[in-house]
Structure 1
Amino acid sequence: MTYIPKPMDTSKVQLTNEILKLTELLSKHAHDVWATQRFKDGWQYGEQRDDQKKLHPCLIAYEELPESEKDYDRNAAMQTLKAIVALGYRIVKVDE
């Protein structure tokens, strides 16, 4: 069986500036969730990725990541936000 990804088409979804700002917060959160799980699984920071030794160069603060790694998280966050809107949901910040 061959897996063929079929993400929903979000190319026409326009996000508001307020929601676009949310992308960076979600990107940092996604990185922190990923790193937390890696640490729980026994991984540590290492300059070179080594799966056998469980070393990974991205086990650092989000702010210290190279832009290419941040872009990976940003794209995932952006596509998730667009999918939420495409599915008919609204994202509204509640004023405190």
Structure 2
Amino acid sequence: MAYSPKPIDTSQVELSPEILELTELLAEHIHDVWAQERMKDGWQVGEKRDDDKKLHPGLVPYHELSDREKDYDRETALQSLKAILALGYKIEKK
């Protein structure tokens, strides 16, 4: 059976400026969680990705990544926020 992705329809979701600001904070968090898991598994920073040697150039603090590299985490955060709102939840700051 072939996999057919069916993401939540977020096409009608518009994010407020306050929620858009949250995107960058979540993107950094996503990167940190990813990096922490890799490091726990023995990965280290390296010039080029090498799965056999467990080296990855992205194992650096978020602020050291290029904008192109950050865009993957930003898009994940943005789509997660949109999905939360599309499902009818509210995001409020305490």
Q: When the two structures are superposed, what TM-score results if normalisation uses the length of structure 1?
A: 0.96
Runs of 4+ in 1 over 3 A off after TM superposition: none
**Structure 1 unmatched ranges of 5 or more:** none
Residues in 2 aligned to 1:68 and 1:11: alpha-carbon distance in whole angstroms: 23
Q: When the two structures are superposed, what TM-score results if normalisation uses the length of structure 2?
A: 0.98
Coordinate RMSD, CA, aligned: 0.6
Residues in 2 aligned to 1:42 and 1:15: alpha-carbon distance in whole angstroms: 38
Residues in 1 aligned to 2:23 and 2:54: alpha-carbon distance in whole angstroms: 29
Report whether the alignment pairs 1:54 with 2:54. Answer: yes
Residues in 1 aligned to 2:68 and 2:55: alpha-carbon distance in whole angstroms: 19
Name the counterpart of 1:15: 15
**Structure 2 unmatched ranges of 5 or more:** none
Report whether the alignment pairs 1:37 with 2:31. Answer: no
TM-aligned CA deviation for residue 64 of structure 1:
0.7
TM-aligned CA deviation for residue 93 of structure 1:
0.2
Deviations 1:38-88 (A, max 9, x none): 000000000000000000000001011111110000000000000000000
Name the counterpart of 1:26: 26
Matched length: 94
Residues in 2 aligned to 1:79 and 1:7: alpha-carbon distance in whole angstroms: 10
TM-aligned CA deviation for residue 8 of structure 1:
1.3
Residues in 1 aligned to 2:70 and 2:9: alpha-carbon distance in whole angstroms: 23
Task: Specify the SS of the correspondent of 2:24.
Answer: helix
Report whether the alignment pairs 1:78 with 2:78. Answer: yes
